Structure 1
Amino acid sequence: MEYVQLGDITIEVELKDIKNIHLSVYPPNGKVRIAAPERMSLDTIRIYAISKLSWIKKQQTKLRGAERETRRDYVTKENQYLLGKRYLLTVIEENSKPRVYLKHNRVVLQVRPKTTRAKRKELIETWYREQLKGLIPKLISQYEKIMNIIVVEFAIRKMKTKWGTCNRGAGRIWFNLELAKKPIECIEYIVVHEMVHFLERAHNARFIAYMDKYLPDWKSRKQLLNRLPVSHVDWDY
């Protein structure tokens, strides 16, 4: 691992077999990493980092000031969120197949006695993944017709710094598992955002014009998503 120092900001640099340079600022404290092509010199990477310094500082300020959910132990009466709505968790211990389901204003987690926190978390996350898999295809299908594009594949995965990402060459989109907790209008915003990248790679004027066309209130949805608490994570770099 190489390092670039810009004032009080230390940037980890990893040289990899890739074509383009990638800059990431990680929660919770704004750790900065750059992945760069193996052929690129540290001096070139430093110049690139300097050009992005104001953006790095902005992201660090945002991450350090973000409201965070408390740690979840997956016990009765904890809060759980689904599609922007708060539910109380009820844990039922019995010797039957584990499952998670909604009942009135509660999320019910049915587990075998002595089930560990890690396993309870896994069950809840699997349930969240199923909720998104039931919702996102409908949104993709809706906007495929409007945009006249095709999404070949999508997947749900844990991501530390992004709500979504795409590979437009392969027609593939990945969505952050945490989106399951957010209001439907925020999920729709991320779906449209990533699909617009099939039409325009960069966040430029053309990209904004597409967003204005396909989702006119996208800016308010983005602001709502940014105001919501982010998950508690035991961050391990």
Structure 2
Amino acid sequence: MTLNIDGLEIEVTRKSIKNMYVRVRPPDGRVTISAPYRMPQRQIEDFVRQHRPWVDRQRRKIIDAHREGLARIGALPDASRDPAAGKSAMSGGTGVPSQRQSVEDGERPTDSASIWTEQRRREAAAVIESALPALLSHWGPIIGRTPTHVTLRLMTSRWGSCTPSTGRIRLNLQLGLMEPRFLEYVLVHEMTHLWARGHGAEFQRRMGEYLPNWRRIRRELNRQAIV
């Protein structure tokens, strides 16, 4: 069900839950609500109006992060150089940890298909492919395990993922257009999952041994927009 509350479209899903949850989702600042089956619509509308300032702030953060990400890879002009560039940005995204071992106002301004031209894909892939042999040679002996396959692909909500049972690792192609330390961090993160499936104590202990500053790099990476 979609509600239009004071000009803001919200997707509402009824679930067997006790409380209501509001989320602002990348990449387009879409607002979703999970609400109990018996909660009156009026209560949902009142809740949204009460928390509208928070929702607007979160959407603005996502908008700004996405536009910065587009500018960083050369898909959009930098807002600092073009005052008009920042007026209607609408998307964003961060790497979010999931249980499958992955690293952690209107229209979308630029479609992903137009951002990722064939040339940009080739450039990003070439950077990663040229860096991987040295990275794997360095980190394989340290971590004690190496992936059976490393696949590059465009991802919409994560920087990397791992299937421990097969040893396969997937890396977001966008890492080839970013600072090299981010590629290294994501690779180490996913290789660590070859030992530790979750993000619990063993995973954190190993990451602390391999990359003592891994939490700082993760925070910096997750402030970047996935485009």
The verdict on a shared fold, with TM-score over 0.5 as the criterion, is yes
Q: In the alignment, residue 188 of structure 2 is paired with which amino acid?
A: V
Superposed CA RMSD in Å reads: 3.9
Change in Cα spacing, 1:30 to 1:209, as seen in structure 2 (3 Å) is farther
Correspondence for 1:47: none
**Deviation of residue 197 (structure 1)?**
0.6
Give the 4+ runs in structure 1 shifted more than 6 A: none
Correspondence for 1:93: none
Richer in strand (by share): 1
Please give the TM-score of this superposition, normalised by the length of structure 2.
0.56
Aligned-pair identity in percent equals 28
Separation in 1, partners of 2:27, 2:178: 18
Matches within 5 A, 1:12-91: 26-29=26-29, 63=62, 66-69=65-68
Conserved in 2, the CA contact under 8 Å of 1:182 and 1:225?
no
Richer in helix (by share): 2
Query: Which among 131, 143, 161 is matched to residue 135 of structure 1?
Result: 131
Question: 1 or 2 for the larger relative contact order (CA 8 Å, sep ≥6)?
Answer: 2
| Corresponding pairs, count | 157
Change in Cα spacing, 1:155 to 1:227, as seen in structure 2 (3 Å) is same
Query: Which among 20, 26, 34 is matched to residue 7 of structure 1?
Result: 20
Secondary structure, counterpart of 2:169 in structure 1: strand
Query: Which among 150, 160, 173 is matched to residue 156 of structure 2?
Result: 160
Correspondence for 2:108: none
Conserved in 2, the CA contact under 8 Å of 1:30 and 1:64?
no
Matches within 5 A, 1:175-214: 175-214=171-210
Q: Can you give the 5+ residue segments of structure 2 that lack an aligned partner in the other structure?
A: 1-12, 38-54, 79-112
Separation in 2, partners of 1:179, 1:67: 15
Secondary structure, counterpart of 2:68 in structure 1: coil
Conserved in 2, the CA contact under 8 Å of 1:166 and 1:172?
yes
How far does the alpha carbon of each residue in 1:45-66 deviate from its partner, in whole angstroms, 9 at most, with x for none?
xxxxxxxxxxxx9xx7774663
Correspondence for 1:148: 144
